[in-house]
Amino acid sequence: MSETAEVLAVEEAETSAQDEASAENTADASVPEASSAENTANETLGAIAIRGVGKSFRSGKKKAEFRALDGIDLEIGANEFVTILGPSGCGKSTLLRIVAGLEEADEGEVAVDGDEVVGPGADRGMVFQGYTLFPWLTVRQNIEYGPKLNGASILGRRAISNRYLRITRLEAFANHYPKQLSGGMKQRVAIARALANGPKVLLMDEPFGALDAQTKLEMQETLLDVWEKEKTTVLFITHDIDEAIFLSQRIVVMGAGPGRILREFPVTLPAERTAEVREHPEFLKLRRELAGLLKHKE
Ligand SMILES: Nc1ncnc2c1ncn2[C@@H]1O[C@H](COP(=O)(O)OP(=O)(O)OP(=O)(O)O)[C@@H](O)[C@H]1O
């Protein structure tokens, strides 16, 4: 899908640049924020069921078959924050892309709240490592882009962007263009843009992988704040053990050859994840266990 959708997105953005400019000028900046109930997932929504998912790729001159995923079973509850951790090439991104509907499984099925995933949908928002913002749109216009495509009125869009600019602490940058932003800020916009469509599920593929250490920590705290406010289910991919422990309620470790689930770890740290949590005995114990498991898999 993504190519077609991207082309459509580009065309739409280009033809509507003038609309956007007039919206920018005419909309009242004091428009109230959209309420959480209007624009975000319901607290009881966003359960993901992954059952018996398998995927093979054929590549090279001989079109040799490569088994990327095998027998993946994973149930994720509504509002749960689950992280997938695993060595490079174990199929994490492939699994996420299948949940997103960007890739088709060869076997098995994925459902969100009982509805089988057959392609991309507004119920699932995605944030990738690479910055995927429209460079010709301002921060506010990037955030309002999805709601605009979905027919939201100027005032409705403005209410949505106000809410997500505030939640992601970008209010002062509403009229900036992506090239004027740091990497962390760009990822804030990407998160705000994904949330503006009111997804039940946020799918995040190493979103902070390219950020410096300090910005990464700040973004982790922002994400937990957003998750707390929005009550979306989050399925997050990372290579970073500390990031996985800090963010998650549950960590799923995958192994390669073929890609499969090795073990799951509940994270029983306090719900409020402050910086001190990183020194908690449970955090250190889990880090040792995960490092030990992954050491033999890298
Ligand atoms: N379209 C494709 N065609 C052929 N092989 C592919 C394709 N997509 C993924 N693969 C292979 O499937 C395996 C899993 O890839 P995937 O990107 O899902 O792994 P990953 O765990 O996300 O890795 P990383 O952590 O390095 O991003 C890899 O060996 C990759 O080369």
pLDDT at 132 (0 to 100)? 81
- What's the CA gap between 182 and 186, in Å, rounded? 6
Kindly report the length of the chain: 298
The DSSP bridge partners found for residue 58 are 65
Mean pLDDT of the chain: 86
Residue 28: name the closest of 193, 177, 157, 147 by CA.
157
Atom of ligand 1 nearest to the CA of 55: 12
Domain-embedded: residue 132: yes
What is the distance between the terminal CA atoms of the chain, rounded to a whole angstrom?
32
Domain-embedded: residue 202: yes
pLDDT at 38 (0 to 100)? 46
pLDDT at 249 (0 to 100)? 96
Domain-embedded: residue 63: no
Domain-embedded: residue 53: no
Residue 196 lies in domain: 2-45+79-100+117-295
* The pLDDT of residue 29 is above 90: no
Domain-embedded: residue 257: yes
Atom of ligand 1 nearest to the CA of 254: 21
* The pLDDT of residue 69 is above 70: yes
- What's the CA gap between 154 and 241, in Å, rounded? 42
Q: How many domains does the chain have?
A: 1
Question: Taking residues 137-165, what's their average pLDDT?
Answer: 95
Question: In testing the pocket of ligand 1, which one of 2, 56, 93 has its CB within 8 Å of the most ligand atoms?
Answer: 93
Domain-embedded: residue 57: no
Please tell me the number of Cα atoms within 13 Å of 105 on its side-chain side: 26
Domain-embedded: residue 109: no
- Write the CB contacts of 263 (distance below 8 Å, at least 6 apart in sequence): 252, 253, 293
Tell me, using a 6 A CB cutoff, whether residue 88 lines ligand 1.
yes
Query: How does pLDDT run across 219-237, given as a tens digit for each residue?
Result: 999 999 999 988 899 999 9
Tell me, using a 6 A CB cutoff, whether residue 57 lines ligand 1.
yes
CA distances from 177 to 5, 36, 98, 242 (A): 22, 26, 32, 32
How many helices (H) and strands (E) in the chain?
10, 10
Confidence bin at 210 (pLDDT 50/70/90): confident
Question: In testing the pocket of ligand 1, which one of 90, 102, 298 has its CB within 8 Å of the most ligand atoms?
Answer: 90
Domain-embedded: residue 161: yes
CATH number of domain containing 194: 3.40.50.300
